[in-house]
Structure 1
Amino acid sequence: MVSYLPTTFGKKESWKDISYHIISMSSGRDLFSLPAGPADLCFDKNEFMKKTFSVDEFLHENRNAGSLENIRDDLGLYLKVLRSAMIELINQDYADFVDLSANLIGLDQEIGGIGSPLVKLKQEMLTVKEALEGTMKDISDCLEQKKALRGYKKSLQSLAKVRTALVKLESLLESVEKGHELNPTLLERAALESIQLQFNVKFCSEFLDQEQLQSAERWKNDLLTQLKTYFLNMLERKDLDGLERCLRIYCTLDECRMAEDVFKTEIVSPYMSRVVSESSLQNSPQGLTGIYNQILDFISLNMKGLLNLTKKNGKVKGYNFVVNSFWTEVERRMETNMSSIFAPGNPESFYNKYKCTLEFLERIELIIDDPVEINYFKAHPQYRSFQVRWNLPVYFQIRFQEIGSNLERVCSLEIDPVKFSSQQISASQFNLLPFSIALTCISSCWQDGIYLPQLFQRFLKLTLQLLSRVTTWVDSAVTFPPMASADSKPESSLKLKLLATLFSDISNLSKKIPQIVNLILSQSPPVLDLTVSQLDELFFDNRSALTTKLNRLQTLVVQELVQASVPHIKQVSDIPRLYRKTNREVPSKCCQYMEQLIQPSRNFRDQYNSLVGDERLKEFLTDVYGSLTTSYHNTVEEVLTSVQKTEESLRRLKSLRDRNSASTAAASSSSTTAMTDDDKIRLQLQVDVICFVQEIERIGLARGEIEKLDDLMRLVEEATKIRIGSSSQPAPHT
């Protein structure tokens, strides 16, 4: 059986081809797996079953399994296994191959015999299909003809109705013209005939000649003319029943807009041409308010009956004489004949005219008294055009220049040292002009005569800008004064006064922000539905900026006080010279420099406590005395170290001079009974520290709140061996 193998399976056939043939021949079996090979192969045989098998990937994955020679040898071994498996598979299925070839003999002839009847059947089916399609086309043509005949029949019927309606309409209109007074009943009948005529004309227009079409249009226009005359007569007589019938006739003709146009052209326009003009505006005692009153008087004089008939609960629907007849004509006349009212050059006059106009529009809305109609009124193109004509951005820009320039002019002025030094300051009000002007400007933004609800967002932004501007001005103000005048206070004193005044004014301004928020909230448009918390968020940046300025001013005050006091600490180094070889008495009071050291802070506390406040003043003095204590501690430590070194040097020198024991004993005895100069120096330092501590406690500060104060006290206590009490000075050391 092996001799029947295909010739392709030669020696040069690869293991991959043999695997493919084995898989192909065994595709009919439910389960199949590659034959097992030697267990020591350097690759996995299942990789050959992958659909994405690639030789390059195979070599790349197995490059570390062994050398190329080992891979080649293992592939050769597995190739032999595959060949053996393929031969065995062919031998197993050889009988099936022979039976299959025997069963296929003569199959072509049988297939050919079956094909001929099928072709014939196909041709017969195509013939039947063509016959059915022809029949369907004939039926469709007949239906189209029937539909066209129905259309022609309907058009002929409409044509007959048109001719009949023309005759009736002509007869009715001639009867109306012959009467001394317009008969509303004949007009109603004529309107019905006109509607029938227009309806039937649409279905037979292709059969009507030009003369018939012109005749239909002429009679319709004649009917509208008669109806217009009747409408004006009823308006003149103020006959509500006649107006109702006339309006219903217009509704029947679907010419409601025609009635509104007639009223606007014949009634509204002549009246408004007399009332709405520049000359009327100049001659009116009440100005624009008088013009608006005359315009609204027209409604009460000439439109009361129409409004009662056409309002929401009226008898006739589909009309809006207030908007389509009254308002459109009024707005057009105001734009063309009274354009001067829109000029924003004079902001006071513009404000009054605009407020008067808003009241005028609100009164019109009250007359309409229907939410749907009011929305239609506000959405009308001429209403929007009228609102745009009021140039609110230009008005705001003028107000912005007026309000902003007041604050900017004050912020650009320099502070006069002489005037400022003699100025009386108060903690309950603003002491510097920019803060007072800023608050006045902010109040001006929201007062009557300036603020308009339509510009709420812009005035709110201007308020934030005013706060920001006065906050920024503080940066330039803290540089004052560049130099003090001859007859004014010293520069340091003036600067402390300015810093304290700035601190007080900024604190007062921060306290005013809630009042400003409440003022803005009271003036905000109801449609925005703002809350206090929402407005507070808008002022968050301003509050943060003011807090930052307060902290900076506190730092500057501390720096000024420290700079005024620190130079006096250097006098601590002069204490040794006061007691060496001078035979001074034992110190019992502090040195003069201590009074000079604490005087700047004491003066600031006495003068500006009401401006700064107790809590802030405590913070100020804590920082000041913290910085002074650090410097004082370092200086005292240096002096004590120097004293100790000098004392030791003198002791060593004296020991060298006095060699005999008697002299030494006498010297020792005298040193123990009398206070030395160095002891006096240490005691003086302790007395000064006690005075310093007492000053700190006098202003309400605890010892633990001052950095290095405890270290300073321990330093002098260890030097004198005398413990410092809370309020008593130490006794002289003997």
Structure 2
Amino acid sequence: MATDLHSPLPKSATDLFGDPIEDTHPLWLNPSKFSDPEFDPESYISDLRTFVPFDTLRSELRSHLGALKHELVELINRDYVDFVSLSTKLVDVDAAVVRMRAPLLEVKEKILAFRGSVEGSLTALQSRLKQRAQANEAREVLELLLDTFHVVSKVEKLIKELPTVPADWSSGTLNSTEKGQLSNGISFQHAENGANLRETQSMLLERIASEMNRLKFYIAQAQNMPFIDNMKKRIQNASLLLDTSLGHCFVDGLENRDANAIYNCLRAYAAIDNTSSAEEIFRSTVVAPFTQKVIPHSSSGVVGGSSGDELEQDYERIKRYIEDDCKFLLEISSTENSGLHVFSFQANSILKEILSAIQKGKPGAFSPGRPTEFLKNYKSSLDFLAYLEGYCPSRSAVAKFRQEAVYIEFMKQWNTGVYFSLRFQEIAGALDSALMTTTLIPSQSSSSDQEHSHTLVLKQSISLMESLRLCWRDDVFIISCSDKFLRLFLQLLSRYSNWLSAGLNARKSGNANANYGSEWAFAATPDDLLYIIHDLKCLVEEVCGSYLGNVLEVLKPCSTEVLDLVKESILQGGNSLKVLQPLVMNSIIENLVEKSVEDLRQMKGITATYRMTNKPLPVRHSPYVSSVLRPLKAFLDGERAATYLTSELRKELVQSAANEITRRYYELAADLVSVARKTESSLQKIRLGAQRRAGATSDVSDQNVSDTDKMCMQLFLDIQEYGRNLASLGVDAADIPAYRSLWQCVAPSDRQNSISF
């Protein structure tokens, strides 16, 4: 394609002697791109300049321009006749333009005239539409004002139909006019037939309330209008009369237990959105009298007759009064699809009055300073709240009851944070006092160890267990503080663990003043430490067993996720005690090893026995060997070890103690042999030097056995006896690396490879 576009120009007629013009464009210049509709000269040149010098590019473009001009000239020369004939055909063009302009101007004038007419009509139409909208708006306002006036007049007329004194209705006597036809269409035919006049009044009040609700809507729509402002006094008077009449009718219905009248009055209160008045009337008329009987009080404070600050019996009496005097109203207000769910008599009538009575008559009931009484009152109050929630017809009603301001205020009276602080001091203080003793104190039952092998022995451990149980006991625990009691549980375990580990660390370091409260560790014998091992085992089993089950039962109302977290925390706390057992075991082992090492130090007497004494080779072990394992054996044969050491712990203790004693045995023996050999080598060098100076021959070869060999033989006999003593404790000496090293150190050359005794 490119070859066709850039083929050499045809040879012109005038080019008689020149060579044909050939396309000599380089490969990087493609003229076909110039005719592309999306061709961009600047980007094209910038792309080429990256690898083509500017002068070369300019030269090639000029060359291409010259070729294009030459081609244009060739085309004109080739079609010259057509160019000339075109100019001859363009004759009288101006006259043709004038002829076409006249009709176009005429059409333009007609269009402009029509456009002006349309714009005028549109303006007139928009003006009339605006006037119509204003008229509609004015009519709506007028209709609203007329409706408002009619409703006000209707309400006033209906209120006038009501008797001014409630007794007029309850007496059953009506004048002749009232026995006629009321303006609201309600006939007294039913009254003449013995119908309930109170119910008729309540129905009329309900209708008036409905009209008042409608009136409130109209007033809200026509705010800030002079007409409405002028009617405000009439509206307020009507509203006041309605509230007064409705209150009288509601009180009358409550006194006579008239369910229909009460129902209609409640609907009237709901219609005018004045539920608080109904709740207050019920509180003062029904709830306050029996509350005053149960908890006598006055505005100034306590009135004589109250017995202490306990609330449990008071709540029981109040419940009976609620059953007798309040249940009928609560059932009416919870009628399904009645629209009476807006009332909250449980909170704003009953609970409000009871809270006020307790605050005035028994203010000490809320005081956490006496934790036991506080907890009883708190739990009784929670039970009473649950009793009131039983009158709620649905879960949403229960949620609404708990969100009431009175409910929240009632719960704020119970300062559970201060209560927990007092319990914390009581529980943690008891354990802290028990751990401040300078000795381990066995309980009285420890005298019969065998009978109590599955119970705690030390008073410190018993105090810990009692404190842990107190955290979840019914007369201490509060479900709302469950997280705090769980933290207290973990803190008690941590306090006990720190007490043990601090004492054992101080015992190991030998610094009695290192930690205050660690004095017990220095006074404790290995037999005393057995009590700790036993108690740790019992504590772990108790905490991870029945104690955990009891806690999960107490927290049963909580969710599964919460119970899982509590279970994990308690198990971790119990296992934190288990890691203390190796520390106690190590302390026992260290004590027994030190006692054994005291006897091992008698080994130094072997040097004095055989150095420069010419004694024969020994044939029996040294006396100290029998005493090396005596402390360990005496400990294992003791009554406490038999009672409190399990077979697994016993085996672990024997093996660990044997390994450590043997290691110390090896260190002392190896040191003794090393010193002996160095001493013998030095003496022999001195003896050889003396003999050389005297010119005498050496008689070293005549000495059959050296002092060092005698010492090694004595040690060899000792470790054989020591191995037999280990075997009597159930320990194979050959399995102890330190014993094998000891054997290699002192055994004769012919006994090096086999350990036997």
> Could you say which TM-score interval applies, normalised by the shorter chain?
0.7 to 0.9
Aligned partners of 1:160 and 1:242: how far apart in 2? 29
Q: Is the 8 A contact 1:499 1:557 kept in 2?
A: yes
Aligned partners of 2:35 and 2:656: how far apart in 1? 97
TM-superposed deviation, 1:524: 1.8
Aligned partners of 2:524 and 2:212: how far apart in 1? 100
Q: 1:96 to 1:195 in 2, by over 3 A?
A: farther
Q: Is the 8 A contact 2:461 2:535 kept in 1?
A: yes
Partner of 1:27: 34
Q: 1:423 to 1:296 in 2, by over 3 A?
A: closer
TM-superposed deviation, 1:444: 1.6
Partner of 2:129: 140
Q: 1:471 to 1:208 in 2, by over 3 A?
A: same
**1:506 and 2:526 matched:** no
Aligned partners of 2:114 and 2:589: how far apart in 1? 113
370-379 or 386-395, larger mean C-alpha shift: 370-379
**1:690 and 2:679 matched:** no
Q: Is the 8 A contact 2:501 2:583 kept in 1?
A: no
Partner of 1:13: none
Aligned partners of 1:320 and 1:138: how far apart in 2? 56
Aligned partners of 1:410 and 1:325: how far apart in 2? 51
Of 295, 299, 305, the residue aligned with 2:328 is 305
Q: Which runs of 5+ in 1 are unaligned?
A: 1-17, 35-45, 63-70, 484-490, 658-662, 730-734
**Aligned-partner residue type, residue 614 of structure 1:** S
**Aligned-partner residue type, residue 475 of structure 1:** S
Of 177, 182, 185, the residue aligned with 2:200 is 185
TM-superposed deviation, 1:686: 2.4
Q: 1:97 to 1:142 in 2, by over 3 A?
A: farther
TM-superposed deviation, 1:500: 4.2
- Equivalent positions of 1:443-454 (< 5 A) are 443-454=469-480
Partner of 1:263: 282
**Aligned-partner residue type, residue 500 of structure 2:** V
How high is the TM-score relative to the length of structure 2?
A: 0.71
Of 488, 499, 509, the residue aligned with 1:462 is 488
Deviation string 1:264-309 (CA, Å, 9 cap, x unpaired) is 2333234434543364685338942232233223312322322343
Q: Is the 8 A contact 2:424 2:488 kept in 1?
A: yes
Aligned partners of 1:165 and 1:272: how far apart in 2? 42
Q: 1:348 to 1:183 in 2, by over 3 A?
A: closer
Q: 1:280 to 1:453 in 2, by over 3 A?
A: farther
Aligned partners of 1:394 and 1:271: how far apart in 2? 32
Deviation string 1:342-391 (CA, Å, 9 cap, x unpaired) is 11112122122212222222222234464332222211111111101111
Of 324, 341, 344, the residue aligned with 2:368 is 344
**1:628 and 2:661 matched:** yes
TM-superposed deviation, 1:147: 1.0
The number of residues matched between the two structures is: 661
Deviation string 1:424-451 (CA, Å, 9 cap, x unpaired) is 9886444443322222111122223221
Aligned partners of 1:170 and 1:366: how far apart in 2? 39
Partner of 1:600: 631
- Equivalent positions of 1:442-591 (< 5 A) are 442-478=468-504, 479=506, 494-497=524-527, 499-515=529-545, 516-524=547-555, 526-529=557-560, 533-539=564-570, 542-543=573-574, 545-575=576-606, 577-579=608-610, 587-591=618-622
**1:385 and 2:415 matched:** no
- Give the secondary structure class of the aligned counterpart of 2:621: coil
Q: Which runs of 5+ in 2 are unaligned?
A: 1-24, 173-196, 513-520, 692-696
Partner of 1:438: 464
How high is the TM-score relative to the length of structure 1?
A: 0.73
Deviation string 1:38-78 (CA, Å, 9 cap, x unpaired) is xxxxxxxx996449x7xxxx7xxx9xxxxxxxx9xx77667
Q: Is the 8 A contact 2:152 2:235 kept in 1?
A: no
Q: 1:307 to 1:588 in 2, by over 3 A?
A: same
Deviation string 1:137-176 (CA, Å, 9 cap, x unpaired) is 2232232144135426634752674476257425522598
Q: Is the 8 A contact 1:244 1:316 kept in 2?
A: no
Aligned partners of 1:470 and 1:692: how far apart in 2? 40
Partner of 1:165: 154
Q: Is the 8 A contact 1:176 1:186 kept in 2?
A: no
Deviation string 1:100-131 (CA, Å, 9 cap, x unpaired) is x999999x999999999699799668646643
Of 238, 258, 283, the residue aligned with 2:306 is 283
TM-superposed deviation, 1:460: 1.0
Q: Is the 8 A contact 1:496 1:557 kept in 2?
A: yes
TM-superposed deviation, 1:652: 13
Aligned partners of 1:92 and 1:229: how far apart in 2? 115
Aligned partners of 1:29 and 1:316: how far apart in 2? 79
Aligned partners of 2:97 and 2:646: how far apart in 1? 117
Seq. identity, %: 19
Partner of 1:709: 739
Aligned partners of 2:581 and 2:371: how far apart in 1? 38
Aligned partners of 1:644 and 1:209: how far apart in 2? 126
TM-superposed deviation, 1:615: 2.5
**Aligned-partner residue type, residue 259 of structure 2:** L
Partner of 2:434: 410
Aligned partners of 2:40 and 2:302: how far apart in 1? 111
Partner of 2:13: none
TM-superposed deviation, 1:251: 5.3
Q: 1:703 to 1:93 in 2, by over 3 A?
A: farther
